[in-house]
Chains A and B, each alone.
Chain A
Amino acid sequence: EVQLVESGGGLVKPGGSLRLSCAASGFTFSNAWMRWVRQAPGKGLEWVGHIKSKTDGGTTDYAAPVKGRFTISRDDSKNTLYLQMNSLKTEDTAVYYCTTGGYGHWGQGTLVTVSS
């Protein structure tokens, strides 16, 4: 059974940093493209970015609002996906979900609140 478990969310001040993790199991993580999607409170879904598998180059792509501030990485030895978030803004407040490449499987999400 595919499982994705996010962690690392919490309250952070504007300008601060936070690193989210997504622990994966039940599939061959190293072969998978992985993505992050977020949802601000009471709002719709927003694609954040993705990382390809290393065999496909391991490259990343980001949505414009987070480009240059967020970095997606992966540790295939730990079956874990990361989202490093720097220079956080109040508008980054959201539940952050990790998903598999085809969006067929989602984690439960982790809440990030950016507030002074």
Chain B
Amino acid sequence: DIQMTQSPSSLSASVGDRVTITCRASQGISNYLAWFQQKPGKAPKSLIYAASSLQSGVPSKFSGSGSGTDFTLTISSLQPEDFATYYCQQYNSFPHTFGGGTKVEIK
């Protein structure tokens, strides 16, 4: 199975900050990488697919980059509604494994 390692596991940031979350795959996955946002008690929401393509309706403050084994999710200017847990997921091969999550908290 492909292991997905996210860092950091949590971070504290202020409104307006630029935030970057990284995700590393244990082997190359091309660009078969997705990012999800999850708020407490809610289902995950798809933000990005194919490493850098924004899902319809997702604001452009979210961006993704990377290919192969190293990927990043960037939030350009953190807003109160962005405080949540973020997960990466590879869908290059089965099982489609998720990273452990990054909890973004208010500083």
Contacts and interface: CB of A to CB of B under 8 A. Distances in A.
Given A103-B89, A104-B55, A45 B98 contact: yes
Contacts of A107: 43
Interface residues of A, number: 18
B89 A44 contact: no
8 contacts: A37-B44, A45-B36, A45-B44, A45-B98, A61-B94, A103-B34, A103-B49, A104-B46
Interface in B15-66: 34, 36, 38, 43-46, 49, 55
A91 interface: no
Given A37-B44, A103-B49, 4 more contacts: A35-B96, A45-B36, A63-B95, A103-B36
Q: How large is the interface on B (under 10, 10 to 19, 20 to 34, 35 or more residues)?
A: 20 to 34
Contacts of A47: 89, 95-98
Contacts of B71: none
Contacts of B34: 103
Nearest to A104: B46
A62 to B, nearest CB: 8
B100 interface: yes
Contact of B43 (A46, A64, A97, A102): A97
**In the complex, the 4 A-B pairs of residues with the closest C-beta atoms, listed nearest first:** A106-B43, A45-B98, A47-B96, A63-B95
Given A104-B49, A106-B43, A44 B100 contact: yes
